[in-house]
Structure 1
Amino acid sequence: MKPFTFDQIPVMMNKIHDKLEHLEKLITRISATGEDKDELLNIEEASKLLNLSVPTIYSKVSRKEIPVNKQGKRLYFYRHELMKWIKSGRVKTHLEIRNDIEKRSRI
């Protein structure tokens, strides 16, 4: 960075101010998404999120197929755990399988 003159101080201060505002917005946005990680859902909310009926969710809970937290007679679900559960069921494409095989054969 080149040194600046006394006359350039106001311009530089404005640039610094703009960058700080931008950083504040980014930090606020990141903090807000971090709060969603601990978002607790009841069974009806989980049903809507997963697009499954409530009886189907009860069935999956009883077979221990879905991550759940139980407090008394109530069931609670963490949004991030449900999203992770959904992602764990991802089926690889033929290309991905072929690439995995090629990588293993090189080892």
Structure 2
Amino acid sequence: MKDTLTFDQLPEAVTKMQEKLDIIEQLLLQRQVQSPEQDEIMPVAKAAIFLDLAVPTVYSKVCRKEIPVNKRGKRLYFYRSELTEWIKSGRKKTADEIQEDALKHLTTGSKKSKAF
């Protein structure tokens, strides 16, 4: 751990911190510029490949409104970012996460008063 800063060292420390923040900001901006494929628009065939599903399965999911889709005329289009979020939304919790949630519920839920 570093030594405690003195009052006289604060201006220099703030300057260094600002420089580091500027570097982090630049890295984040570069990352956004380098990943435009996140909003890539895909037709059904490409979406099926991305999802590792058969094309008829994709059509079936669209018909049952299970998957985010954009329709223009008779054509279906998918945003890569929306499909990624759709996949993430189906994440199953681990046993440890479920147990942690249950403990949180028991500790916070039992303190609530029931007014009837």
Please classify the TM superposition score into its range, dividing by the shorter chain length.
0.7 to 0.9
Report the equivalent of 2:80: 79
RMSD of the TM alignment (CA)?
A: 2.2
Structure 2 unaligned segments of length 5 or more: list them. Answer: 1-11, 14-18, 109-116
CA distance in 2, matches of 1:63, 1:36: 27
Q: Once the 2 structures are TM-superposed, how far is the Cα of residue 25 of structure 1 from its aligned partner?
A: 6.6
Classify the secondary structure of the residue corresponding to 1:52.
Answer: coil
Within 5 Å, give how 1:83-98 maps onto structure 2: 83-98=84-99
Q: What whole-Å deviation, never above 9, does each CA across 1:18-70 have from its counterpart, x for those lacking one? A: xx8x679723232222x233211111110110000000000110111100000
Larger displacement relative to structure 2 (56-65 or 37-46): 37-46
Q: What amino acid does structure 2 have at the position aligned with 1:30?
A: Q
Report the equivalent of 1:28: 30
How many residues matched?
89
Q: Once the 2 structures are TM-superposed, how far is the Cα of residue 105 of structure 1 from its aligned partner?
A: 1.0
Q: TM-score, normalised by structure 1?
A: 0.73
Q: TM-score, normalised by structure 2?
A: 0.67
Distance 1:89 1:23, change over 3 A: closer
Report the equivalent of 1:66: 67
Q: Percent identity?
A: 51
